[in-house]
Structures are given as C-alpha cells and as structure tokens.
A and B are shown apart, each in its own frame.
Chain A
Amino acid sequence: MTEWRYWLAEQRGTLLAIGIFVAMFLIYATNHPAGFSANMVQTASNKATLLAFVAMAQAIVVITAGIDLSVGMILTLTNCLASWIVVGTATETALGVIGVLGTGVLCGMINGAIVIFGRLQPIVTTIATGAMYYGVALMLRPNPGGSVNETLADALTGRLFGVVPTSLVALAAAALLIWVPYSRSVIGRAAFATGSSEVAAYMSGAPIRAAKFAAYTLAGLLSAIGGLFLTFFSYTGEAAYASGNAYTLFSIAAVVLGGVSLMGGRGSAIGAIFGALAFRTIGDLLFVFDFDPLWQPLFQGIVLMLAVSIGAFGLVRVRNRLEWFG
C-alpha cells in the first residue's frame, strides 16, 4: 500500500466524523429560519465548543484504553471556581484563569495517580473522584451565582474580525497546541501503544505510566478549559449534578461518533471534536424542523443508537466466529 492509503486507514474514523458533521450541519444551515449567517454560526459554535472540549478530554483518556467518568464533574467544579476567581482587574483575571486551569490539571493528576499507583480500574476510580469533585463544587457554590470578567467573556464568546466565532478559534488553538504536540511526542505514541496492547507496550519499553499520567492530566486540563468557557457563556457558576453527568455521558457519545475505539489505541481528539459538533447539531436539527422540544432527548437517543449500531456491520465480514469475542 502506498503512504496515503495507510494514512487513510488510520484516519477513517476521523474522516467519517467530519463527514457526518458536515452533512448534519448543511441540513441544519439550509433549513435554519434565519438562514446561513455569521450570527447563526456563532451561536451554534458557542453551544458546541463546551462539549467539544470535554470530548477531547475523553478521547485522550480513551485512547489509552481507560475511561474518565469525572470529566463532567471537573467541568462543573472549574465552572464554580471560575465564577469566584476569574473577576476583577486584568492581572487578577489572568491569575484566576491560571488557577482554574491548575485546578483542572490537579483533578486529572489525582485521577491518574490513583489509576496508576493505586492500580484501581479507571471506571470505578473516576466515578468516585467525580463524586468528590462534585462535592467540592457544591461547597464553592451551594446556590447558583457568582460572576465573571465580562470583557474577557464577551471577547471569547464573540466573533473575531466580525466573522469567525472566537470560541471556534480557541477550540482550534487547543487542538493545535495540546493535541498535535502530544500525539506526536514519545509520550503520545506510548499512549497509543498502551491502548492497543499494554503488554506489548511494556515489552517494548514504552513509558506506560508517564503516558497514562499525561493522558489523565491533559483530560483534566481540557475539562477545565470547558468549565472556563461554560462560565464565559453563562456568566455564573452552578453546581448542577444533572448537567455535569450529561456532559460526561455526551462526551462518551461524541468520542464514539468521532471514531475513537473504546478498546483503546485508535482514534484522534480531532475526530472527537467533530463527533461532539455532530452530536450537538443533531440536537439542534429538531429545532429548525420545528419539533416539540420534548422529543429532543428521544431523537438524540435514537440517533446515538443508530450511530453505534453502524459499527456492527463489520460483524458480517468476520470469517471466524471466534473473532466476535475480541
């Protein structure tokens, strides 16, 4: 096979996610009552970026064959924290942003440390740490409230040069500055290797522990960026259990739509971003077709179900039945 064919095979999931998103978005944009405008794109992208950040976080962990069920709660926690400290003068705000991102990193490091050194399963660990992060969030904001530096918030949720939504630029920057260097580094390659076969990765001397630790830490950081943006959109902090949980669940859905294998070792955060954008667009499709909003959860559920069932077609091609059992 030639070089580009390998590349195509590797990126198939990502490309499929981009395809789904473009198709969905075209249907959405052509049927939108206000038509295709910079305003519409800004609103749509602001809504979708939150999930995209969390989905990136989830993808990075899922690639190591782990899972992080605390991403939604880190988002909630950082949202509550940001509503306290991202205020005041420029210096105070900058320190506040650093504090919020640092908290996310710390949460991720706690997850990573417990999974690696405590040798607990990621799924149980992150369920329990998620409960703890939510507890801290509730302590910070027993009632919804707080505020945020509105100049910064408006700047980051507005439009750059009147056309491009700033939130999309921030998303692209996060992908370029975090995902691209990470996936090309030794640690990133080790993360992929760990995901496809931990034993083989160990035998080849890949830095498994560093890779896992980096993955959980980055997931914390990206969730914190998501929490920061949530604060910029809502101007308040709220310790909402249901919405934190929803972000966690949707992040898994976005990762699957984005072509990241839950078994680990395959996929990219870019795919997860498009998975998240597609997932959000599906929800908005109902709005443009003037459906009762009550049907939105059902519609999202059915689309999610169909999307995950598509993968089952591969079973038809299986020659040996034992391959069913992976």
Chain B
Amino acid sequence: MSEATAPQSPPGRAALLRRIDPAVAASFGCIVLLLLVGSLYSRSFLSPDYLLQQLKVASFLGVIATGMMLVILLGQIDLSVPWVVTSGAMMACAAAAHGTTGAILAIPFGILCGAAIGLLNGIGVAYLRIPSMIITLATNAVAQGLMVAYTGGFSPQDSASKAMRYLATGHAVPGLPNAVLAWAIIGGAAIWLLSRTTFGRAIYAIGNRERAAYLSGIDTRRVTMLAFALSGALSAFGGVLLAGYASKAAQSMGDAYLLPSIAAVVLGGTHILGGRGSYLGTVAGVILITLLQSILSVMQISEAGRQLIYGAVIILMLLIYGRQKA
C-alpha cells in the first residue's frame, strides 16, 4: 500500500493491509478467479453443497500439507509422504481388525507408526546431518518395503474401523463434515504453534539460518527432529482419514499426495528454502490445488490434459509471485 492512502484509513486497517502477504492475497485471488471461471461453466460451482464437498476433499490434503509446511519452513523437505500416508492407513486398518481393543487403538496406532517413521527422518536429518531429500527418500523406500512385505503386494483385506469412517465422513456438527472440522482443529493448532510458541519461532529461526539459531541458544537438532516427527504423524493421520473415507487402505494411495502437498505449501507463499511463510497461505494453496483438480475433472478434461494444465498453472503462478529475489 502506498504511503498516501495510509493516513486516511484507520490506523488498524493500514497495519493490517501492510501485514497481508502478497503471495497469500494472490492465491486467494486465484481461488476466486477459479470459482468464477467454474461458475461460467456450470451454476453448481457456487452452490454450498459443492463448496463444502470441495472443502472436505481439501481437508485430507490440508492435514498432510500442514506437516509438509513445518518441514519446508525448516528449509528441509519430506519426500516420505507417499508411504507414510499409506503406512498410517494400512496400520490403522490392521489394528482395527483386532477386536474392540484394536478398533479403539486403530487411529492412535496409525498415527504412531507415522510418527515413528518421521522420528527416523528427524534423527537422520538433525543428528546424522544427512540431506533431508535423501534420508526421507530412504525411509520412504523402507516404509514401502515393510508395507509390501506385510500385505504381500495386494490391497489388504482389513477395513477401516467405525471411528475412522465417522471421522472422515460423519457430521458431528450438522452441516459441517468431520474431516473439515479435523483440519480446522489441526490448522488452528498449527497457527498457534507457529506464532505463539518458542518451538514455532525456533522453526522459523532455523529456516533462516541454523547456525545463528544454534548460537542464540536454540537446540536446533531437537526442534528439527520433532518437526519431522510431527510431519510424519500428520501424514499418517491424513492416511487414516483417507482410509476412513474409502473405508479401506490401498497400495500407493499416498502417491497422489506428495507433489500436491509441496505445491500447496509453495503456492501459499512459503519459501521453499525455509524461514518464511504463513499457515493462512498454506490453507489458500491447499484449497487452490483442490479446486483446480476438481474443476479440471468436472470439465471432463482427460487425465493427460489435467496433468499438463496442472503443471503449467503451478509454474505460471510461481512465475507471477514466487520468484526468488535476484
């Protein structure tokens, strides 16, 4: 905002306007644009039913992208998402097959498995100083190996527990899907974590310069390890929700979430090298990606065309506002 307009508006508003991240604003603008384009094609794009349905689909990606964002803020990346998602889903379903106790423990057990893989990533990155791209790739391969050995390479027969299905498809509050509610709670927690706790501030500090963060007394290795564990847990929780939605786990169900989660975080204005970004931007990025996928499929564009447009749109949007400072 230019200096000239600032004095005329109330001081609170000027401060607010200055605080708005251009990337976040641009992605919300793109969401509105997408909805307008969609509504030209069909009236139903603006109906509450459709929007709520999209929000529900977005919440799976949203939960996973939350974890990815924590890691990207550190200046690292988590490529183990595909098989952590699948492991979370498969392990939760496997636990659900063991009677009542199993059904009760299904969700925590799934999340715990994800957190364990995440912890392994974290130890590798923080204490062994292995580049995150490599160690997460390796744990992804190990998780895949474990799951393939466990299931014999087929889709497992176990189905999701009642609680998982309720969490993904039920309505605790009338009119609001539980999945959206779960994302809202996790999102709220993430905002609180990132802006109100020392842990959150430490994540930003490490992303900016780990050396400086270490010298100012932050236990950078512990923070990094915990962030990776959280990312694993959130990915696995996303998998649990997906399994509840489809009522069972499947091989490679997580493959479709790695690139969109990175794209959502980056489109939302989080810097891929870490240290900068807001959770609101990630929310915008997630909704943007989900809407884009949905509109392309409603327009009955073939899978090939969808991939092409999807990639082109990401590049275009980044070229508009995601460029590095020269």
| Contact B145 A298, beta carbon cutoff 8 Å | yes
| Contact B134 A132, beta carbon cutoff 8 Å | no
| Contact B319 A120, beta carbon cutoff 8 Å | yes
Cβ of A1 under 8 Å from chain B: no
| Contact B141 A297, beta carbon cutoff 8 Å | yes
Query: B252 → chain A, closest Cβ, in Å?
Result: 7
| Contact A301 B304, beta carbon cutoff 8 Å | no
Of listed A121, A136, A299, A326, residue having the most chain B CB within 10 A? A121
A242 to B311, CA, bound (A): 17
Q: Which of A123, A239, A322 contacts B211 (CB 8 A)?
A: A322
Query: B61 → chain A, closest Cβ, in Å?
Result: 15
A134 to B310, CA, bound (A): 11
A315 to B129, CA, bound (A): 8
Of the listed stretches B28-36, B146-154, B165-173, B187-195, name the one at the interface; the rest are far from the partner chain.
Answer: B146-154
Cβ of B133 under 8 Å from chain A: yes
Cβ of A324 under 8 Å from chain B: yes
Cβ of B314 under 8 Å from chain A: yes
Q: Which residues of A contact B302 (CB under 8 A)?
A: 138-139, 142
Dominant secondary structure at the A interface: helix
Count, A-B residue pairs, CB within 8 A: 161
Q: Which of B210, B262, B322 contacts A127 (CB 8 A)?
A: B262
A127 to B304, CA, bound (A): 16
Dominant secondary structure at the B interface: helix
Q: Which residues of B contact A48 (CB under 8 A)?
A: none
Of the listed stretches A31-39, A149-157, A211-219, A249-257, name the one at the interface; the rest are far from the partner chain.
Answer: A249-257
Per the CB 8 Å criterion, the residue count for chain A at the interface is 53
Q: Which residues of A contact B144 (CB under 8 A)?
A: 297-298, 301
**Closest chain A residue to B215 by CB distance?**
A322
Query: B125 → chain A, closest Cβ, in Å?
Result: 11
Q: Which residues of A contact B16 (CB under 8 A)?
A: none
A325 to B209, CA, bound (A): 9
Q: Which residues of A contact B15 (CB under 8 A)?
A: none
Listed by A's residue number, 24 A-B pairs whose Cβ atoms lie within 8 Å are A119-B326, A120-B324, A123-B77, A124-B322, A125-B315, A128-B318, A129-B311, A132-B315, A135-B306, A136-B308, A249-B137, A252-B133, A253-B134, A262-B133, A294-B148, A295-B145, A296-B145, A298-B148, A299-B145, A301-B142, A305-B135, A305-B139, A308-B138, A325-B220
